[in-house]
A and B are shown apart, each in its own frame.
Chain A
Amino acid sequence: AQSVTQLGSHVSVSEGALVLLRCNYSSSVPPYLFWYVQYPNQGLQLLLKYTTGATLVKGINGFEAEFKKSETSFHLTKPSAHMSDAAEYFCAVSKRSNDYKLSFGAGTTVTVRA
């Protein structure tokens, strides 16, 4: 069975500061890894994903994440926070198989201080 742990349900950062959201997964085999963002009253939007190849992946809005197999982690970062980054962020995993159902973490709410 797969599971995802996101450390910290709430993160508050100053505008221009580093954003770091932590995600660890548990899986018998390396899964596919995703970060989704949910803005208030909206659906889930894919930020980035890791499937194969380069372990540092870049996504939309200046976000990137690094897959570290040895640490079973897929932390999300953005060098400089913007007010528009205020949202809830979900880490998710799926199996590398025909069934790509997603298992989500509990989410991290990001607030950005002016």
Chain B
Amino acid sequence: EPEVTQTPSHQVTQMGQEVILRCVPISNHLYFYWYRQILGQKVEFLVSFYNNEISEKSEIFDDQFSVERPDGSNFTLKIRSTKLEDSAMYFCASTRDVNQETQYFGPGTRLLVL
């Protein structure tokens, strides 16, 4: 069964460094999402992406964050200058099309900012 994959599974970085989290959505999916889950807190929506542009973003998704689909398969989340509070599990998700409401989640990347 097709699945969403994410790399790396774990990343440790120093505060102020840039990180890029990578996701490979299911191949025929067109809508892509990033969520994050700070330890002990609820899963929060960050951004949705369709047709090579952001559809919606939350207030968390400030200028330090960006997303890109650099080729036909990858979907990336970049944090330009990480802060301690960016430490979280980051989940990528995708849906097939506008009429498909079910999001399929990847296993997540655990980011630790020191």
Which chain A residues have a beta carbon within 8 Å of chain B's beta carbons?
32, 34, 36, 42-46, 49, 51, 90, 92, 94, 96, 98-107
Complex Cα distance, B107 from A9, in Å, reads 22
Do A101 and B91 form a contact, CB below 8 Å, given A32-B101, A43-B106? no
For B43, give its contact among A32, A94, A99, A104 (CB under 8 Å).
A104
Residue of B whose beta carbon sits closest to that of A103: B45
Q: Could you say which residues of chain B place their CB within 8 Å of the CB of A45?
A: 105
> Across the two chains, which residue of chain B brings its CB closest to A104?
B43
A–B pairs, 23, beta carbons within 8 Å: A42-B107, A43-B105, A43-B106, A43-B107, A43-B108, A44-B93, A46-B103, A49-B101, A49-B102, A51-B101, A90-B42, A94-B101, A96-B101, A98-B55, A99-B56, A100-B95, A100-B101, A101-B33, A101-B48, A102-B35, A104-B44, A106-B42, A107-B42
A-B contact count (CB 8 A): 54
Q: Which residue of the partner chain A has the closest CB to B47?
A: A101
* A49, closest chain B residue (CB): B102
Of residues 22 through 46 on chain B, the ones whose CB sits less than 8 Å from some CB of chain A are 31, 33, 35, 41-45
Which residues of B sit under 8 angstroms from A104, Cβ to Cβ? Answer: 42-44
B105 CB, min distance to chain A CBs, angstroms? 4
A107, B41: Cα distance in complex, Å:
8
Closest to B56 in A: A99
Query: Which has the most chain B C-beta neighbours within 10 Å: A46, A94, A100, A105?
Result: A100
The digit string for B50-79, where 1 denotes a CB below 8 A from any CB of A, is 000001100000000000000000000000
Q: Which 9 A-B pairs have the closest CB atoms?
A: A43-B107, A44-B105, A104-B43, A106-B42, A43-B105, A101-B45, A100-B101, A98-B98, A104-B42
Knowing that A44-B43, A103-B45 touch, tell me 4 more A-B residue pairs with CB under 8 angstroms: A43-B106, A44-B93, A99-B55, A102-B103
